[in-house]
Amino acid sequence: MKKLMAIVGVIVGLAGGQALAAYTVDLGSVQPYPMADWSSINPDSIGGDWGGFGSGGDNYTNPTTATWDHKCMTIWGQTDSRIATITFPGEVDSMVIRHLDGLALDSAGGGGDDFEVFVDYVYWGTYVSNPAINEYWVETTFSGAAGTVLMLIATDPAWADQSTWGQVGIDRIVAIPEPVTLVLLGLGGLMLRRRQSA
């Protein structure tokens, strides 16, 4: 019993420090969780600079969270939906999203990089893009009530050249599991191991 309590204490300690693995999605190469209404991989399917991805990395600064594939997807799918989703295996309460920011693509503001973040239909925040003369990649942290289904909504008008809801390119998402979820996952694994050894 003492051994069990010690292991539980370690799990709780790790959860409190968020030391266990985060849920990572590297759009374009590593997509281990269910996803819906995303575009095809870019710049493979649509040419352009893509903040340096499409030009051999001219304006691309390697992110603080390592990824080197120079690929991304946008928040619109084959049905021209302005909503894209990812379902994580457990509840998350914060995440870092690496996304494209910069100029709108037409005079009406279409193709801009503004978007909203919801998790389980609960609002987490809005990103308002910077109307710069070039596009660049930024990392933004969002947090809110814990949930499993991430919903990103592109909020700018459709880009006239593509008939899509903006060119909101997403490179990478690192979602942090809620501490309670980490504890439950750890305890579940522990109980399974004890059952197998019995």
**Interstrand relation of 115-119 and 83-101 (parallel, antiparallel or unpaired):** unpaired
Q: 164, 79 in Cβ contact below 8 A?
A: no
Extents of the domains making up the chain: 22-177
DSSP 145: E
Q: What is the pLDDT of residues 39-73, one digit of tens each?
A: 888 887 777 777 777 554 444 455 444 556 778 89
Q: 173, 96 in Cβ contact below 8 A?
A: yes
Q: What is the pLDDT of residues 105-160, one digit of tens each?
A: 666 666 678 999 999 999 999 999 887 667 788 889 999 999 999 999 998 877 77
For the segment(s) 22-177, the CATH number from 1.10.150, 1.10.10, 2.60.120, 3.10.450 is 2.60.120
Q: 73, 38 in Cβ contact below 8 A?
A: yes
> Where does the chain show beta strands of DSSP type E?
23-26, 35-36, 73-74, 83-101, 115-119, 122-127, 136-154, 169-177
Extract the tokens encoding 143.
Answer: 């947090």
Rounded to the nearest angstrom, the gap between the alpha carbon of residue 43 and the centroid of all alpha carbons in its chain is 18
**Torsion over CA of 135, 140, 145 and 150, rounded to 10 degrees?**
40
pTM to 2 decimal places: 0.76
Comparison of pLDDT for 86 and 163, the residue scoring more: 86
CA–CA dist 66, 18 (Å, integer): 19
Residue 14: what pLDDT?
47
Residue 19: what pLDDT?
46
**49 conformational bin, left if phi > 0, alpha if psi -120 to 50, beta if neither:** alpha
Using DSSP's 3-state secondary structure scheme, residue 79 falls into: coil
Residue 126: what pLDDT?
97
Rounded to the nearest angstrom, the gap between the alpha carbon of residue 121 and the centroid of all alpha carbons in its chain is 16
Per DSSP, helices labelled H in the chain are 2-16, 179-197
Extract the tokens encoding 105.
Answer: 């693509």
